[in-house]
């Protein structure tokens, strides 16, 4: 879709709670984060792991 990956954080970079990919196209940037375990909550909000356990992958929050 024309986006390039500009940043990554996950197991390979020593972060054990979540995986985050940042992609960019022009001046638009998206950060996609996912907990690695249902109880992994710190940077993803209080209920992201629980939300994914119940509903699977999806969008929980959008900010402009």
pLDDT in tens, 8-44: 999 999 988 888 999 999 999 999 888 887 665 555 5
**pLDDT attached to residue 21:** 94
**pLDDT attached to residue 46:** 52
CA–CA gap between residue 45 and residue 57 (Å, rounded): 15
Is the predicted pLDDT of residue 63 greater than 90, yes or no?
no
CA–CA gap between residue 16 and residue 25 (Å, rounded): 28
């Amino acid at each position: 879709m024309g986006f390039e990956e500009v940043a990554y954080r996950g197991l390979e970079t020593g972060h054990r709670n979540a995986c985050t990919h940042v992609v960019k196209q022009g001046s638009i940037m998206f950060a996609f984060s996912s907990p690695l375990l249902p109880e992994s909550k710190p940077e993803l909000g209080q209920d992201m792991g629980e939300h994914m356990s119940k509903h699977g992958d999806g969008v929980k929050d959008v900010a402009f």
